Amino acid sequence: MAKLLFVLTGADTWTLADGTRHPTGFWAEEFAVPYEAVKAAGHEVVVATPGGVVPTVDQGSLSPEVNGGQEGADERAAVLAASTELRHPVKLSEVDLADYAAVYYPGGHGPMEDLAVSAESGELLTAALRSGKPLAVVCHGPAAMLAAVGPDGTNTFAGYRLTGFTNAEERQGGLADKAKWLLQDRLVESGADFEEGEPWAPKVVVDRNLITGQNPASSAPLAQELLRALG
């Protein structure tokens, strides 16, 4: 079947407005749910990170509270433990888009630390969008889009309908007042047509080959849209 590239943050902390470093990484559900879906469909997954560092899972994303109880948290952790791809990522700088049928960026606050300012990630996103291959991005993953800027300063995603983690969700999560910037604000400033759904409810927006999800709950429907796009 097809080979898919999962681009994960290499950051394990997120620098807040006061300079303190908030522990973070990638969000478990946003990796595990699409990973299981595409593997069940027979596809291959390759994980890439900046520098090829082994990605860190946000420990908060493995708590019973966000996984429907302890059993759900244990199942999520088991998927991560069984994923050999997570333990052997390739360097983002060495990725050749031609090798992959689709690209996927999960979230967690980590992308706001590194992928949001990564030129190599920005170039990959621009190439993926222009290639017509399915490009799926969820929750805080769209922070990476902020680095997809052309020589004239125009963002590659300007004019695209998309979604991501909202200001309302950041406020309800308790970190909006501590953040240097909010994702929704920055995406709007970049020229994107941001679509906001109800906090914490699944929402997926498809515009051409771009598939975006608002929050962790959007991971499953986003994965299904990605599989549909792959045919």
Domain ranges for the chain, please list them: 3-230
Q: Which residue type does 140 have?
A: H
Q: What's residue 94's pLDDT?
A: 97
Q: Which CATH class is domain 3-230?
A: alpha beta
CA 170 → CA 79, 101, 105, 118, distances in Å? 27, 32, 19, 23
Mean pLDDT value of segment 7-19 = 98
pLDDT score recorded for residue 82: 97
Check residue 223 and give its pLDDT: 98
Tens digit of each residue's pLDDT (9 = 90 or more) over 78-89: 999 999 999 999
Enter the DSSP assignment of 156.
Answer: T
Q: What is the mean pLDDT of the segment spanning 132-156?
A: 97
At 161-216, the pLDDT tens digits run 999 999 999 999 999 999 999 999 999 999 999 999 999 999 999 999 999 999 99
Termini Cα distance of the chain = 11
14 phi/psi in degrees, rounded to 5: -125, 120
What is residue 96's predicted lDDT score, i.e. its pLDDT? 98
pLDDT of residue 40: 98
Q: How far is CA 126 from CA 21, 43, 149, 157, 196, in A?
A: 30, 23, 8, 8, 23
Closest by Cα among 187, 30, 34 to 109: 30
- Average pLDDT taken over every residue of the chain: 98
Q: Is 203 helix (H, G, I), strand (E, B) or coil?
A: coil
Q: Which percentage of the chain shows pLDDT scores above 70?
A: 100
Say what the pTM is.
0.98
Tens-digit pLDDT profile for residues 27-43: 999 999 999 999 999 99
Query: Measured between alpha carbons, how far is 27 from 178 in angstroms, rounded to an integer?
Result: 19
Is the separation of the CB atoms in 192 and 162 below 8 Å?
A: yes
Q: What is the pLDDT of residues 93-115, one digit of tens each?
A: 999 999 999 999 999 999 999 99
